[in-house]
Structure 1
């Protein structure tokens, strides 16, 4: 594969990396499509004293848009401060690819770091995060640690995050990852990915506003899925799962459960969620539902498998590999110790005419 290198000229398209701006996150690549991508990094611009006894950093995001890229090729880039990275431009057509999906990295940072080390060795074409990147999305002390731990992975691949409840709908999520809404979609090869926000608790204060957001997102999602019917595979990425084998959590997913008929109508292949800190595989009406919440947060017991729906569960740290090629795909859950927790094949949906 031919390698393209791009030196990002910040003086032309973005604020300078100033001496007083300490880079505390990145670089990383978001919003990657087969035509362009956004390179981002996070800087500390100062600090604020709290109660005269503690200082907290003030963070800001910096972004560069890269356009005119070639689908399927690898791009290397560098920033004027010496930071370097690379990523693969999303492929089009009948191209094989490998992705990793994982989530809930908010605590137990030693395990979070080991998960990132394991994912980096796999060399995925891109990575998706199912949310709860940090414990409190408003806490500016937590984001630099997240980026420091994930740096070996983020500097080598495109990143597609979903909003979790622990991000608390913070502006930092939107600023850092250059998204204007908590829902978006992208294509890679013959697969379509739809990322949605299932965190109604933080999206708005009033019940009316929450309902309005949910209705707006669902209208967008139906339109997005309707337009994706020529794809062989369709995947949903979100934080809250429709099904869970954690007994104490089973009453809390009804809003997501209500989306099942829509996903069935538009032939969704599988969904990926987090929120529950373990691995779960459920199968309902032809759709596989994966819970991948083993990125470092405290583990939850899987004590209530759903008869006729639950396929596999294990409470352990892990990540999920998604391997797609023309006509078929495979999902494989991998434990931190390298054990294969689960593996199964996915059939391609006949392309809509």
Structure 2
């Protein structure tokens, strides 16, 4: 193409266009054909290069194995490591993911992603884990994969284990049709200590619907400062978290464990506890009410800019927002008035149609000012009893469904509509509703 441009310039400078019009047209055709052929060959070369497909050039804290790309387990040795924390996936934006896992041995980690082999050195940690709260030494691995191909199932296998583990997850969808899940308030840890059977039950059921990602509305542990409780959260949900990217809205029970939170997750927006991401035709916003929300603070200003930008983007068909304490609820905990006074007015000026919260251990579906609010707090913590619904004088009733039940929701997003199905921990349908574009 460069040669073609240079040739045209020289040809015109010499004044040959008028005198040699026929030859000029012939050269134009020849150069156009040459450009098409070279472009085709270049595309073929790119498709035959696995590194070009995956976009992977390195891995966090480690480099791709310098040996044979087709190396098998026999080429990297045998291992004694057993999992102390099952693998789970977080999304950092820009189709980049981080895969975490932990073991009981100090061994270099090896992971195969599709047909590429990578190694990851461990980070040694001493923490209190288990019902006895004894200090144990574990080894954490975090593998960062950047710019993965979109709209694909990504297969991975952790090879550096006594028993290798193989699974897969969905890369970011660019399609207008995808599924995600919502649940919260599982509160692993005390008083359960060893396990939370209901949380295991709920996450195992969610996994059967094969969501591309899951949003937890907060209170994932009982005491945020006790690292052992975080272990229980991940291991209770292992069936789901190894296959679907996990997003979390910080709850009040995570207070005191913000440093631990940052060590467990790798979300968009760096180490801040509020963030947003795009998936398919939708924009998602996750907020931290514990961080404070008012017109004067940083999170509010960030939210205002982020949601207004997304709302004005013609490629964004749907807006979803999640934070822990609900602005509308009739259960044990009162509504969060900061959320009602500062967040809701911003949502009402945009195309936001679904807000997911937790905090109250129940299921509530509220429809107010063209926005659906779900209180999805039935992930495993003790349930709260239903209370009498009382509206303010002259207020239009807005409660759609209210039930004391363990629950989770499966959200199916398409081009112009959103389908929401909520199930109990026996996989029985509690409610189904549709949101259509106005």
Determine if the TM-score, normalized by the shorter chain, exceeds 0.5: yes
Structure having the larger proportion of residues in helix: 2
- For the 8 Å contact 1:241–1:253, the answer to whether it is kept is yes
Matched, 1:177 2:260: no
Q: Which segment is superposed worse, 19-28 or 326-335?
A: 19-28
- For the 8 Å contact 1:278–1:316, the answer to whether it is kept is yes
2:215 maps to which residue?
A: 128
Matched, 1:102 2:183: yes
Q: 2:84 aligns with which of 24, 28, 34?
A: 24
CA gap 1:62/1:305 in 2 versus in 1, 3 angstroms? farther
SS in 2 for 1:194: strand
- For the 8 Å contact 1:56–1:140, the answer to whether it is kept is no
Instruction: Using structure 2 for the length normalisation, give the TM-score.
Output: 0.69
Q: 1:269 aligns with which of 345, 348, 353?
A: 353
2:116 maps to which residue?
A: none
1:301 maps to which residue?
A: 385
- For the 8 Å contact 1:7–1:79, the answer to whether it is kept is no
2:340 maps to which residue?
A: 257
- For the 8 Å contact 1:61–1:176, the answer to whether it is kept is no
Distance 2:141 2:295 in 1: 28
Distance 1:213 1:57 in 2: 44
Report the alpha carbon displacement of residue 34 of structure 1 after superposing the two structures with TM: 5.2
SS in 2 for 1:116: helix
Distance 2:339 2:326 in 1: 7
Q: Greater relative contact order (Cα 8 A, min sep 6): structure 1 or 2?
A: 1
1:206 maps to which residue?
A: none
User: Of the two, which has the highest radius of gyration?
Assistant: 2
Distance 2:182 2:277 in 1: 15
CA offset digits 1:51-102 (Å, max 9, x no partner) = xx9623466753222123122111112234233332111111x420111100
Coordinate RMSD, CA, aligned: 3.0
Q: 2:278 aligns with which of 172, 176, 187?
A: 187
CA gap 1:34/1:96 in 2 versus in 1, 3 angstroms? farther
2:75 maps to which residue?
A: none
Give the unaligned 5+ runs of structure 2: 1-52, 66-78, 105-123, 392-396
Instruction: Using structure 1 for the length normalisation, give the TM-score.
Output: 0.84
- For the 8 Å contact 2:86–2:102, the answer to whether it is kept is yes
2:401 maps to which residue?
A: 312
Distance 1:213 1:29 in 2: 33
Distance 1:244 1:214 in 2: 26
Give the unaligned 5+ runs of structure 1: 204-209
CA offset digits 1:142-201 (Å, max 9, x no partner) = 1222111111111111111111111115111111112411101111111111000112xx
1:220 maps to which residue?
A: 302
SS in 1 for 2:338: helix
Distance 1:49 1:286 in 2: 47
Distance 1:153 1:339 in 2: 19
